[in-house]
Amino acid sequence: MVQFKQTPFIQPTDILAAAERLSGVVRHTPLIRNANLSKLFDCNVWLKREDLQVVRSYKLRGAYNMMSQLSPEDLQRGVVCASAGNHAQGFAYSCKKLGAQGVIFMPVITPRQKVSQTRMFGEDFIDIKLVGDNFDECAAAAKQYTTEHGLTFIPPFDHPHIIEGQGTVAVEILEELPDVDFLFVPVGGGGLSAGTGTYFKTFSPKTFVVGVEPEGAPSMCEALKANHPVTLDAIDRFVDGAAVKRVGELTFKVCRTVLDDIALVPEGRVCRTILKLYNEDAIVAEPAGALSIAVLEDYADRIRGKNVVCVVSGSNNDIDRMPEIKERALQYEGLKHYFLIRFAQRPGALKEFVNNVLGPSDDITRFEYMQKTNKDSGPALVGIELQQRADYELLIANLHRFHIDFSEINKDDKLFGYLV
């Protein structure tokens, strides 16, 4: 009889049971060796493609695993969730698959594309309520509605059945690739990292498991430092699939046990990775889905010659975000800079700026006067794109050399926030 290594909170046997439960419901997503990344890092990089899941993310696994274990009476009464993203879509699909009526609470500001996608997966089995200006208000309304109507709330990450469902990603990985040296997994609320980490530490204890968070939302990192979950005052919500103010109580306890390391990745590097995956491999990854790949350069020396698995957690990326993604990537690489410039009040000042200050390969990508009246005397917003990072020093030197009155917006967080 096989002896399982037991973690204090989630049992590997329950993850295996979840895998059986999900058979025929979720897609067994491919584990694909990526030639470009393998060559770049001189190792074998395998991508677990949860972006190819039925609802384009792993979230279906946890939602269905929990809902399928409810009693027929609870299912008939109905279920509720609060989400503006992948959890809502997994929940909606599960409602349709199980024939249960579900109510999904979404913030009023949720993009129409995500609302329509969720409705597409759930069809007539779901009712979407747009409530609150942010997720916290939305979640509070959902829980109040659940209590008032005697329904069952399906949380996005902090429940054993949710964690067990997400852990089935690890079951599929080890079925195909038993020898894994490094596993990189994105961390938001902690459900995926808790589930996959538990399974790997049981069946592949030698694997070094790394949780990856966006730099602007380090909720698990701060929780591990404090030795308990903490609520962050503010977060950057750009990596929306992994940007939470507070991780779960249960997910924290599990992750503290099964994660070997936690890493933070700048949002700009995530954007660069998204574009690189699309241009080189035709992979459409959402920001959270690119986290596990974006972090690889920080482990380049350690992963050389190793078998590395990165979980691409989802692909629900709104095409309307692509200009922002490109913008953030260019800024991260030091190729895009914004200035407020007060041109001298004389003919030819702008022409001299173009001829004398800009380098031969520099491009003005944005130019607008900041005042509706008296444009000639007011400052102008100028966006400049460089071909190489090193060109920045020459640009600044020329601005000083020709006595240009300028301010760098990139270095002013408050002003810069209005541009991105």
Position 413 scores a pLDDT of 62
Relative to beta strand 44-49, strand 31-33 is antiparallel
> What percent of the chain clears pLDDT 70, i.e. is strictly above it?
95
Backbone angles phi, psi at 65, to 5 degrees: -60, -40
Q: What Å distances lie between residue 348 and 339, 343, 354, CA to CA? A: 19, 10, 10
Number of Cβ within 10 Å of residue 387's Cβ equals 12
The residue length of the chain stands at: 420
Residues 250-291: pLDDT tens digits? Answer: 999 999 999 999 999 999 999 999 999 999 999 999 999 999
> pLDDT-based confidence at 410, cuts 50/70/90?
confident
CA 272 to the chain's CA centroid: 13
Most confident option among 107-121, 235-249, 382-396: 382-396
| Catalytic (active-site) positions | 59, 313
The pLDDT mean for the chain works out to: 92
CA atoms within 13 A on the CB side of 99: 4
Is 59-160 the same fold as 12-57+161-325?
Answer: yes
Under DSSP, the state recorded for 243 is -
Mean pLDDT score, 80-93: 94
Q: Domain 12-57+161-325: which topology?
A: Rossmann fold (3.40.50)
Position 3 scores a pLDDT of 40
How far apart are alpha carbons 211 and 201 in whole angstroms? 14
Mean pLDDT score, 167-177: 98
- pTM (two decimals): 0.90
> pLDDT-based confidence at 169, cuts 50/70/90?
very high
Mean pLDDT score, 292-321: 95
How far apart are alpha carbons 250 and 184 in whole angstroms? 20
> What percent of the chain clears pLDDT 90, i.e. is strictly above it?
80
How far apart are alpha carbons 99 and 360 in whole angstroms? 64
Q: Return the SS3 of 386.
A: coil
> pLDDT-based confidence at 373, cuts 50/70/90?
low
Token output for 8: 């204090």
Mean pLDDT score, 202-216: 97
Position 419 scores a pLDDT of 65
Number of Cβ within 10 Å of residue 323's Cβ equals 9
- Residue 359 above 50 pLDDT? yes
Q: Domain 335-416: which topology?
A: Alpha-Beta Plaits (3.30.70)
Position 155 scores a pLDDT of 95
Position 414 scores a pLDDT of 63
Name the one residue in this structure whose structure tokens are 């950057």. Answer: 236
Position 415 scores a pLDDT of 66
How far apart are alpha carbons 392 and 390 in whole angstroms? 5
Which string of DSSP letters, residue by residue, matches 118-146?
A: HHHHHGGGEEEEE--SSHHHHHHHHHHHH
How far apart are alpha carbons 217 and 230 in whole angstroms? 12
CATH class, domain 59-160, is alpha beta
Position 5 scores a pLDDT of 45
> pLDDT-based confidence at 111, cuts 50/70/90?
confident
Position 1 scores a pLDDT of 35
Which residue, 51, 18, 26, is CA-closest to 287? Answer: 51
Tell me the domain boundaries of the chain: 12-57+161-325, 59-160, 335-416
When mean pLDDT is compared across 95-99, 310-314, 416-420, the lowest value belongs to 416-420
> pLDDT-based confidence at 418, cuts 50/70/90?
low
